[in-house]
Amino acid sequence: MKVYYARTSTENQLGENYDLETKKKEGYEVIFDKGVSGGTDFFERAGGKRIFHLLETNSIESITTQEFSRIGRSIGNTLIVLEEFSKRGVNVRIEGLGVDSIINNKPNPAWKIISTTMSLCADLERTLLLERIEEGKRVARLNGVKFGRKFGSNETIFKFMSKPKNVDIRKYLEKGYKYEEIIKIVGTSNSTISKVNKYRVIFKKYQKQGVSPNQLDLMVEANKIEKQKNLNLELPKEPKEISEEYYNMLADSMEQNQKQWNKTKKENPPKEREQIDYNHQIAMILQESQKNLEK
């Protein structure tokens, strides 16, 4: 069986770029992971699990995909997956590059170099993308944009504690059961038990004061909203124009740095100077990358 694997990062991407219908007509078994991040381990995806099953049953001869980043954007996981295909004698074809891992029933001698290099590029691309997203969020926050849920939209304590599973957890906690025992009995997580235990203590405290569960929810939500109001401090805004004084200050600073740099080059021996030159080059590269991100 020959498999064609496709992946999109978001749900609204329908995979038109891959022309999946044509691939089916060409005899491929099409496996499409829709809305799956490239950072997710390949064999943890729905499509990846299906491919692993085909590998286990020796039902797959070759797998084709558009580019290495479709397999993954983590170099470690991508190389592990490619090695798994190699061990089982499955040919991997990267359609966008026109390269195969096996040629004339023999391993492609250039495959390791190509796969390692391109997987590293995919990994770096993902890192840069995440940096751009964080930079965009930072600028948005400076302009007053808020992220996350609105205060007051979270699930109330009473509703959370009224769930059948959480009612059982509370009963077992009251009887003195340990977290490990409750996990096995109820089939829940450690964090859920911890949350139930926290609210259980709050309920007990306020019940002694004659506060009903619904009143407690209102009090908690009111405290959250009040806390949010107190946190809404004015953030410093970036100046629209650079004043002449500020510009002169930067110019003086740059001149002082240049003098210090020239002095360091003269005073340090050749070996140390080479190291400093290298660090300076790295700094310049990072500075150039930052300028590109800001653009």
Cα angle, residue 215 at apex, residues 214 and 216 outer, rounded to 5°: 90
| DSSP-based three-state secondary structure for 120 | helix
In the numeric block, which tokens belong to residue 157?
């304590």
Express each pLDDT in 108-147 by its tens digit.
989 988 999 888 888 888 888 888 888 888 888 787 777 6
In the numeric block, which tokens belong to residue 231?
């946190």
Give 110's DSSP letter.
T
Find tokens 């329908």 and name the residue: 14
* Domain span including residue 257: 244-294
User: Do residue 11 and residue 111 come from a single domain?
Assistant: yes
φ, ψ for residue 107 (rounded to 5)?
-60, 135
Specify the pLDDT at position 240: 45
User: Do residue 16 and residue 114 come from a single domain?
Assistant: yes
Specify the pLDDT at position 83: 92
| DSSP-based three-state secondary structure for 205 | helix
Burial class (CB in 10 A: 0-12, 13-18, 19+), 104: exposed
User: Do residue 194 and residue 282 come from a single domain?
Assistant: no
State which residues of the chain have pLDDT below 70: 15, 147-156, 206-295
Query: Taking every pair of C-alpha atoms in the chain, what is the biggest distance, in angstroms?
Result: 81
User: Do residue 227 and residue 248 come from a single domain?
Assistant: no
Number of domains in the chain: 3
- Is 262 among the domain residues? yes
HEC-encoded secondary structure of 154-201: CCCHHHHHCCHHHHHHHHHHHCCCCHHHHHHHHCCCHHHHHHHHHHHH
Specify the pLDDT at position 283: 59
Residue whose C-alpha is closest to residue 46's, from 5, 3, 16 = 5
- 182 neighbors 172 (Cβ within 8 angstroms): yes
The residue from 178, 204, 231 where one domain ends is 231
In the numeric block, which tokens belong to residue 137?
């969020």
User: Do residue 278 and residue 205 come from a single domain?
Assistant: no
- Is 29 among the domain residues? yes
User: Do residue 112 and residue 9 come from a single domain?
Assistant: yes
Spatial separation of the C-alpha atoms in residues 70 and 284, rounded to whole Å: 32
Q: State the virtual CA torsion across 74, 77, 79, 81 in degrees, nearest 10.
A: -130
Spatial separation of the C-alpha atoms in residues 232 and 204, rounded to whole Å: 32
In the numeric block, which tokens belong to residue 201?
């203590």
Q: What is the mean pLDDT of the chain?
A: 76
Find tokens 């299906």 and name the residue: 50
Spatial separation of the C-alpha atoms in residues 70 and 9, rounded to whole Å: 9
Residue whose C-alpha is closest to residue 9's, from 33, 29, 43 = 33
| DSSP-based three-state secondary structure for 206 | helix
User: Do residue 90 and residue 187 come from a single domain?
Assistant: no
Beta bridge partners of residue 100, listed in sequence order? 93
User: Do residue 214 and residue 267 come from a single domain?
Assistant: no
φ, ψ for residue 91 (rounded to 5)?
-75, 130
User: Do residue 9 and residue 86 come from a single domain?
Assistant: yes
User: Do residue 225 and residue 248 come from a single domain?
Assistant: no
